[in-house]
Amino acid sequence: LAKTTQPISMDSYEGQEVNITCSHNNIATNDYITWYQQFPSQGPRFIIQGYKTKVTNEVASLFIPADRKSSTLSLPRVSLSDTAVYYCLVGDHDNYGQNFVFGPGTRLSVLP
């Protein structure tokens, strides 16, 4: 199982760009990198997924260097509502689906 390491917590202010980096040194060739966001008393919500280079959607960007041993989730111009826990996940899947190993995540606090 590919293990991930990310900061336990981060603080930011409204309007700033937030970058959360995740290390995954043992990522396997077929593994994708997926980020989820979780608010209290809710299930995690899919943010973005990528394999290499850069992926962008309407809410975030994901930067993955060539060696794929790390990845950075970038949230542009955060607001108070972005205060949540963010999880970086790699693998573990087979031909039937994904059995993710969640770490403790990064608790992002956006301040006014």
Partner 1 sequence: DAGVTQSPTHLIKTRGQQVTLRCSPISGHKSVSWYQQVLGQGPQFIFQYYEKEERGRGNFPDRFSARQFPNYSSELNVNALLLGDSALYLCASSLGGSYYNSPLHFGNGTRLTVT
Tokens of 80: 């108070």
Positive or negative torsion for Cα 18, 86, 68, 76: negative
99 binds partner 1 (CB under 8 A): yes
Name which position in 23, 49, 61, 74 contacts partner 1 (CB under 8 A): 49
Taking CA 67 as the corner, what is the angle to CA 75 and CA 11, rounded to the nearest 5 degrees? 25
Name which position in 87, 90, 108, 110 contacts partner 1 (CB under 8 A): 87
Name the nearest CA neighbour of 63 among 94, 31, 20: 20
Q: Which is nearer to partner 1, 9 or 26 (CB)?
A: 9
Name which position in 41, 58, 67, 81 contacts partner 1 (CB under 8 A): 41
The binding site for partner 1 (CB under 8 A) comprises 32, 34, 36, 41-46, 49, 85, 87, 93-105
